[in-house]
Amino acid sequence: MIRQPNVIFGNSRLLITMGRKGELFGFFYPRRDYAQHVEDSLACIHNGDKLLWLNSHEWLSTQEYIEDSNIVSTELSHDSGIKISILDFVHPEVPILIRKFKIHSEKRLRGKFFYYSNLNVGEMDKKNSCFCDSDEKLLVQYWQDYYIGLKGIPDFKEWQVGKSMDTIWWTNAKYDMEDGKLQNNKEDIGQLNSALGWDLDIEAGGETEITVLIGAAQKRTRLYKRMRELANQPIDNVFEKTRDNWIMWLSKKNVLSLSVLGEHNMAKQEMFSAYNRSLLTLNLLNDEKHGSFIAAPEFDSNFEMCGGYGFCWNRDGVEVVLALLDAGYPEYCDRFFKWCEKTQLSDGSWFQRYWLDGNTAPSWGNFDYSTQIDETGATLHAIDTYYRSLEGIAKVEFLEDMWALVLRGAEYLMKRSRRGVHDPCIDLWETYYGRFSYTNASVYAGLVAAAHIAEEYNESGLADRWVKHADFVKMKTIEKLWLSEGYFAKGIVDKKLDPTVDASILGMIVPFNMLSPDNREERAMIYSIIKRIEDKLRIKVNNHYGILRYEGDNYIEGNPWIVTTLWLSKTMLSLAIAIQGEAGSEKQVQQLVIDATNYIKWSLRGTTSTGLLPEQVDKFTGHPAWAIPLGWSCALMLDNIRLLDKIR
């Protein structure tokens, strides 16, 4: 089932995605892409008469992060006078989710607090096994070496383990909860669900606290020890430790001044918050062990309406690591490029997308004609960008590590662009076959990057060959794809020039620098591209304009995208930085900054209530749409704010 989260949190081995009422959507352990163990997991009150599921429409909710952390606060209120506060966080060191419920009732409340789970451990909806150790007061569900455990503080009083999809319906924990009393069945196998129960007896105006721990481990004994140990620790101390851990991580960032925003403290605060939230989000999308990133937490694992997002694309990955590098976190580059080394195909290219451990992911790009050449160009470009940031021994070591990769990658780009325009392949939006402006720019940038690295490696012959071919690609791209109307065509599709205005032509400028704002002739082309995109792709939502991907886009209703909007603002800010200081440029710089800032603010109006940046903004409602949060959106937000910070 497709369910977009309102919030995500976790640690390096556990990623949680959650709805706005505190219902778990995803419990990813030990990687961000696999395995997702939860179908349903949420709390429910039995008020003595009926069940009040916390995700029902009867509850009003507000949800936000605790500032500068990946700790979530959810507040729920019910007409009957019950209020529930949930504090959700994951222990910084072990994969245990801590869910602290505070239940307040205006009237006397005698009933039950239930915690219901429908787990598919190991992403398996069969062959699971579940048992309740009533001595240890621990409920465990497992499949192979995935063990998920639930424990309460205080201990739960009753429980049920049952079959969630069987004709013996009375064992089903969800039905068992209906009468307010659980059967205490201790074990079962198959497709299962479970419930834990606590007595509730709250005086009018009173409250009580129940904490639910949901932990994961690869062995039963390890799970027991972890859960027992954590249950014995004061939860408030664990909370403090978790918060300190996030604040410490965030303190490494490059600090902003944003002097260009002057005394607009609200605007500054908004940017500071967006900067921090983007950093904290990207941390959660990263696989620390392998160095890769998911594009977004998976929410359509059955590929019902799209191809899924819980995989690593080089295209997205390089955007993310370069943004993190610029924000003060170079270690993500190092790990990611080591991952690229392992995942590069024998022909020098990269596959459409990968599992985080480097295995190739489900793909519709299995052939030469259906691959995405831009991912290879973008990767080489990013490697060189990182290389240029290094100094001393680290620089030398990185060059040695990367040379073979760069050589293979560059030769692949040479082979796929012999005629100056790349061979037919799939575009960056993964929708069209053809030869594309954006992809050509990536080939150009990849070859320029490779040439620089070759020079550094004393391979000047190769460097010369690659840079000459890069210039040839640039020349041919302008010759064949630049239109007299003043912009680049989307590409050549079905052997015909496709003049569709596509926001990805911004890639000619950032990040691939095929057109440089420092060159006056090319600067004019850049202005013209910006104007064309604003004329053709702006759409008014949330009282300002977002940018569509391309004319006639109908993917998920054809909404404006955060990526394309922030891509445009990034281009504007890059241009502003290039011309600032030139005589008479003040007004132009000022206008570019105002326009870019408005696009950034528009993007922030499209976030979830917790500040997560989505892929798209619904053009009818103005709400965040589709993939939430999207790493690429976060990376571009960082880029924009960092550029804004460089404007004086």
Partner 1 sequence: MFCSTDDTANIIWFDISYVDTISSQADITRFFADNNVNIRFGYLDNTEHAKTGKYIIFTQVEKSVDVDKLVVDLKGLDVVHDVEYGISSCKMVQSVEFPLNLLGERAIIARATTFVDIIRTLYENVSQSDGLLMLSGLKGGINAARYFKGITTIDENNFKDILKELFMATGWGILDIECNCDIMSGRIFVHESFIADSFKKSERPVCGYMSGYFAGFITEVVGKTMQVREVRCKSMGHDVCEHTISLAPQGAKLEHLLRGESI
- Phi and psi (nearest 5°) for 378? -65, -35
Q: Which is nearer to partner 1, 167 or 543 (CB)?
A: 167
Q: Which is nearer to partner 1, 189 or 594 (CB)?
A: 189
Token pair 């924000």: residue: 327
Evaluate whether 630 touches 296 at the Cβ level (below 8 Å). yes
Q: Which is nearer to partner 1, 161 or 445 (CB)?
A: 161
Evaluate whether 297 touches 5 at the Cβ level (below 8 Å). yes
Comparing C-alpha atoms, which of 142, 178, 147 is closest to residue 160?
A: 178
In the complex, the smallest distance separating the C-beta of residue 198 from partner 1, rounded to whole angstroms, is 21
Q: Which is nearer to partner 1, 127 or 468 (CB)?
A: 127
Q: Which is nearer to partner 1, 173 or 508 (CB)?
A: 173
In the complex, the smallest distance separating the C-beta of residue 426 from partner 1, rounded to whole angstroms, is 30
3-state secondary structure of 551: coil
Task: Dig out the tokens for 322 from the structure.
Answer: 């370069």
Comparing C-alpha atoms, which of 18, 12, 11, 87 is closest to residue 608?
A: 18
Q: Which is nearer to partner 1, 140 or 638 (CB)?
A: 140
Q: Which is nearer to partner 1, 162 or 614 (CB)?
A: 162
Task: Dig out the tokens for 389 from the structure.
Answer: 């940031």
Give the count of beta carbons closer than 10 Å to the beta carbon of residue 432. Answer: 19
- Binding interface with partner 1 (CB under 8 A): 125-126, 162-163, 165-172, 175, 183, 185, 187-189, 191
- Phi and psi (nearest 5°) for 373? -60, -30
Q: Cite the DSSP H helix spans in 251-313.
A: 265-285
Sequence-separated contacts (24+) of 454-461 with Cβ below 8 Å = 454/406, 454/407, 454/410, 456/387, 456/399, 457/399, 457/403
In the complex, the smallest distance separating the C-beta of residue 168 from partner 1, rounded to whole angstroms, is 5
Q: Which is nearer to partner 1, 44 or 378 (CB)?
A: 44
In the complex, the smallest distance separating the C-beta of residue 117 from partner 1, rounded to whole angstroms, is 17
Q: Which is nearer to partner 1, 178 or 203 (CB)?
A: 178
3-state secondary structure of 250: helix
In the complex, the smallest distance separating the C-beta of residue 196 from partner 1, rounded to whole angstroms, is 17
Query: Measured at the alpha carbon of residue 163, what is the angle toward residues 199 and 3, in degrees to the nearest 5?
Result: 80
In the complex, the smallest distance separating the C-beta of residue 22 from partner 1, rounded to whole angstroms, is 25
In the complex, the smallest distance separating the C-beta of residue 363 from partner 1, rounded to whole angstroms, is 24
In the complex, the smallest distance separating the C-beta of residue 40 from partner 1, rounded to whole angstroms, is 14
- Which letter, b or e, does each residue of 303-337 get, where b requires 16 or more Cβ atoms within 10 Å of its Cβ? eeeeebbbbbbbbbbbbbbbbbbbbebeebbbbbb
In the complex, the smallest distance separating the C-beta of residue 170 from partner 1, rounded to whole angstroms, is 4
In the complex, the smallest distance separating the C-beta of residue 362 from partner 1, rounded to whole angstroms, is 19
Q: Which is nearer to partner 1, 167 or 232 (CB)?
A: 167
Q: Which is nearer to partner 1, 125 or 341 (CB)?
A: 125
Evaluate whether 605 touches 542 at the Cβ level (below 8 Å). yes
Q: Which is nearer to partner 1, 167 or 484 (CB)?
A: 167
In the complex, the smallest distance separating the C-beta of residue 39 from partner 1, rounded to whole angstroms, is 13
Taking the chain, what is the end-to-end CA distance rounded to the nearest angstrom? 48
Query: Which value, in Å, is the radius of gyration of the alpha carbons in the chain?
Result: 26
Q: Which is nearer to partner 1, 170 or 364 (CB)?
A: 170
What amino acid is encoded at 494 in this protein? D
Q: Which is nearer to partner 1, 142 or 246 (CB)?
A: 142
Sequence-separated contacts (24+) of 169-172 with Cβ below 8 Å = none
Rounded Cα distance, 360 and 349, in Å: 13
Evaluate whether 614 touches 622 at the Cβ level (below 8 Å). no
In the complex, the smallest distance separating the C-beta of residue 107 from partner 1, rounded to whole angstroms, is 24
Rounded Cα distance, 68 and 279, in Å: 10
In the complex, the smallest distance separating the C-beta of residue 50 from partner 1, rounded to whole angstroms, is 11
Evaluate whether 404 touches 437 at the Cβ level (below 8 Å). no
Output the CA torsion sign for 39, 42, 46, 51. Answer: negative
Rounded Cα distance, 173 and 179, in Å: 11
In the complex, the smallest distance separating the C-beta of residue 154 from partner 1, rounded to whole angstroms, is 25
Task: Dig out the tokens for 355 from the structure.
Answer: 């599992």
Rounded Cα distance, 306 and 626, in Å: 10
Rounded Cα distance, 147 and 405, in Å: 39
Q: Which is nearer to partner 1, 185 or 565 (CB)?
A: 185
In the complex, the smallest distance separating the C-beta of residue 403 from partner 1, rounded to whole angstroms, is 51
Q: Which is nearer to partner 1, 166 or 331 (CB)?
A: 166
| Integer angstrom CA distances of residue 308 from 39, 136, 144, 348, 456 | 17, 39, 25, 25, 39
Evaluate whether 512 touches 441 at the Cβ level (below 8 Å). yes
In the complex, the smallest distance separating the C-beta of residue 126 from partner 1, rounded to whole angstroms, is 6
Q: What is the 3-state secondary structure (H, E, C) of 126-183?
A: CCEEEEEECCCCEEEEEECCEEEEEEEECCCCEEEEEECCCCCHHHCHHHHHHHCCCC
Residues whose CB is less than 8 angstroms from the CB of residue 204 and which lie 6 or more positions away in sequence, other chains included: 105, 106, 107, 108
The H or E element that residue 591 is part of is helix 586-605
